[in-house]
Amino acid sequence: MKIRYLMILAGAWRLVRESADILLEATPGHISLAAVHEQLASLPGVSSVHDLHVWTLTSGVIAMSGHVVVREPAEHQRVLEAAQARLQALGIHHVTVQMEREQTCT
């Protein structure tokens, strides 16, 4: 009988914790913000990355938004496609990147 209650309690705790992370837009525990920054910053043509945010939209759907400085406007589409591919490899499938020629946020 006690084992059944412990199993219910453990399952409820996981559900509450995951729900709180989603509602608080917390960075998922298995995603390193430093790794996301490194993946974007190391793209050819990218001079800086800032205002990164990674969060869970719903169970199993991770999103990222951020600003990337690419000085050459002709490179924007290539950088965007490369960023999406790299982030998908990290498990981030909803990617929003703001391209800038110079950093506009402080």
* pLDDT one digit per residue (tens) for the chain, 106 residues: 777 777 777 777 676 666 656 555 566 778 899 999 999 999 999 999 999 999 988 777 899 999 999 999 999 999 999 999 999 999 999 999 999 987 776 6
- Give burial (CB, 10 Å; 0-12/13-18/19+) of 10: exposed
**Spatial contact of 97 and 81, defined as CB atoms under 8 Å apart:** no
Q: What is the structure's pLDDT at 83?
A: 96
Alpha-carbon distance of 98 to 65, in angstroms, equals 8
Domains of the chain: 26-100 (3.30.70.1350)
